[in-house]
Structure 1
């Protein structure tokens, strides 16, 4: 199907909008901006479109909008972010008496699709940031930096914009999945769990053992460890084992069986299957590839 769009451009005179035309090099190398802006959009502002090769991110500062996307109608309020694939049908509009104030950016290129799919893995294209002070939110600040770059573009602008877009995409995931924490926020028992696994990753470690050691429900332990460390405890242990196995494959003359035993896996065939599932190569192929470099 062909791209089509209907819209009403009822935005204020102090609103900003930049439309970019990317070069072939930019499309091949970078995340790049197609359009970007800051709007105070009053009724009857709306956009309705489909089949546009673009990803749209909107961050609401004040007022209210309504998004209809993938058959779902969502009210968008201050602090809300949505991230949509504009190839799919979408309709969004102002519904508040005051203007819908928003930052917005159309992006494409590089790993945009992968970030989009990670963003929607919980089934939602929207989220509300928990950070206070919307004008100090990193999402707003990054888009403001991108807007400033467009005012007087030069030979570095595409490079700088790509860096900021990557930072923006990371920030969306950090805030949506509540990973925008500092190291001081990590509970002591999570740090202690990580230290135990780091020290004893070659030994059998079960959730039941962690539950008994840290006096917390194993499901709570898995949830907290996953949030703050980035993977469940057992997956973290497996990663430690695989990393150690890679080191031994590169820098020792131990056999595959000896390495399997050294990392705490008695079944060599299972170790080989596990290693290939994590690395993409069998242990012997990995050793040959690394030693041939």
Structure 2
């Protein structure tokens, strides 16, 4: 389907916009900016389009906007972020009497599409940030990106790429509330992690862990995943596989002996699990060591 767009460009004179044309090298190597700006958009500002090969992130600083995406409407207020794949139909507009003030960037490249899938796994393009909009890390990254475009030089594409990658990570961290401090991790999650680190050679199940820590297994699974990055049993298996790698490379133990050493009695099951987790058979991994 061909690209099409309808729009009304009612932004104020003090709004800022940069349109970039990245080189083929930049497109091949980096995350890269296509357009970036800081708008104060008055009614009847709107954009409606489809089939644009670009990803768009907007962060509302003040005023209100409305986004229509994947058949749903989202009212955008101060502190709200939306991140969308512009290949799909979208319509956004100012709906407040005062200007809708937002910082935004069109970009693509590198792993943008894959990171967008991770961002969009809950099927919502919008989330609300917790900190004051102007002080939020997302806004601060966008300000740095905007500043870089005022006097570009030979290193600007590299700097843009680093900041865009940081921006993508920050979007996911804040949306899924992963921007926690170490002090906010519940003590029982730390205790469970330490227990798994010490007993990874044992055969453990979620039920036995739940009984040992006197916690509901669903809560245990959810909280451990949130703060550690994987469910307890997946974390345990990764620990087993990491130790197996060490033994494959730096010991002369047989594959069967290694399986038993990490608490897996069935060598065939160990071999299947190792290939699933690493992409290599245990024998092939030993050869590349």
1:221 is paired with a residue of what secondary structure? Answer: helix
Distance 1:77 1:133 in 2: 12
User: Which residue of structure 2 aligns with residue 271 of structure 1?
Assistant: 270
Greater mean alpha carbon deviation, residues 152-161 or residues 204-213 = 204-213
- RMSD of the TM alignment (CA)? 0.8
- CA distance in 1 between counterparts of 2:27 and 2:98 reads 38
For 2:78 and 2:259, locate their aligned partners in 1 and report how far apart those are by CA, in whole Å: 54
Distance 1:285 1:272 in 2: 11
Query: Is residue 238 from structure 1 mapped to residue 249 from structure 2 by the alignment?
Result: no
1:65 CA displacement: 0.8
Aligned to 1:251: 250
Q: Deviations over 1:187-206 (max 9, x none)?
A: 11100000000000110222
Q: Deviations over 1:7-53 (max 9, x none)?
A: 11111111110000000110000000000001111100000111110
8 A contact 2:203–2:264 mirrored in 1? no
3-state SS of paired residue (2:122)? coil
Structure 1 position 213, deviation (Å): 2.3
User: What is the alpha-carbon distance in structure 2 between the residues aligned to residue 134 and residue 84 of structure 1?
Assistant: 20
> In the aligned structure 2, how far is the partner of 1:267 from the partner of 1:125?
45
CA distance in 1, matches of 2:279, 2:215: 36
Count the aligned residue pairs: 289
The answer to whether the aligner puts 1:27 opposite 2:27 as a matched pair is yes
* 8 Å Cα contact 2:200-2:240 kept in structure 1: yes
Match of 2:202 in 1: 203
C-alpha deviation, 1:270, in angstroms:
0.6
Post-superposition CA distance 1:109-130 (Å, at most 9, x none): 100000110001111111111x
Using the alignment, how far apart are the partners of 1:11 and 1:105 within structure 2?
A: 16
Could you tell me how far apart the structure 1 residues matched to 2:270 and 2:157 are? 45
1:140-170 per-position Cα deviation (integer Å, ceiling 9, x unaligned): 0000000000000000000000000000000
Question: Residue 125 of structure 2 aligns with which residue?
Answer: 125
Q: 2: CA distance between counterparts of 1:136 and 1:11?
A: 23
Q: Unpaired runs of 5+ in structure 2?
A: none
Tell me, yes or no, if structure 1 residue 50 matches structure 2 residue 50.
Answer: yes
Task: Return the alpha-carbon distance in structure 1 between the equivalents of residues 227 and 176 of structure 2.
Answer: 11
TM-score (norm 2): 0.98
In the alignment, structure 1 residue 214 sits paired with structure 2 residue 213: yes
SS in 1 for 2:105: strand
* Equivalent residue number for residue 145 of structure 1: 144
Q: Partner residue of 1:177?
A: 176
Quick one: distance in 2 between partners of 1:33 and 1:254?
Answer: 52
1:180 to partner: Cα distance: 0.3
How far off its partner does 1:251 sit? 0.9
Mapping of 1:56-95 within 5 angstroms? Answer: 56-95=56-95
Is the CA contact (8 Å cut-off) linking 2:79 and 2:132 kept in structure 1?
no
Deviation at 1:211, TM superposition (A): 1.7
Q: Which portions of structure 1, spanning 4 or more consecutive aligned residues, are displaced by more than 3 angstroms?
A: none
Task: For residue 243 of structure 1, report the CA deviation from its aligned partner.
Answer: 0.5
